[in-house]
């Protein structure tokens, strides 16, 4: 009986690992994505730029769509669509549909 329970536990663990959302990338890959795609994000330093991307992820996780984020921020002085794309690909890929 004990071996059956162990096998079920191992199988359940394997299923969770196989179906888990993609791991979040680090801020360095987000900055690299911005640079590689010539996406301008004003900020004093990379930490501020990463913070802007993280804010996008929070909005997406709270149920907003990319278009709703853009509509809620009509006056921005940077490529918000590009920031959303970069954030989704590098900081919160679980929000890509």
The tally of CA atoms less than 13 A away on the side-chain side of residue 26 is 1
Contacts of 64 (CB under 8 A, 6+ apart): 72
3-state secondary structure of 74: coil
pLDDT at residue number 6: 44
Average pLDDT over residues 76-87: 93
pLDDT digits (tens, 9 = 90+) for 19-51: 444 445 689 999 999 999 999 888 789 999 999
């Amino acid at each position: 009986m004990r071996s059956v329970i162990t096998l079920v536990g191992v199988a359940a663990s394997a299923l969770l690992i196989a179906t888990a959302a993609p791991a979040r990338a680090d801020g360095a890959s987000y900055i690299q994505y911005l640079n590689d795609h010539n996406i301008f994000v004003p900020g004093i330093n990379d930490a501020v730029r990463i913070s802007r991307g993280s804010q996008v992820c929070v909005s997406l996780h709270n149920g907003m769509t990319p278009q709703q984020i853009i509509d809620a921020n009509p006056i921005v002085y940077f490529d918000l669509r590009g920031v959303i794309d970069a954030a989704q690909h590098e900081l919160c890929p679980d929000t890509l549909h």
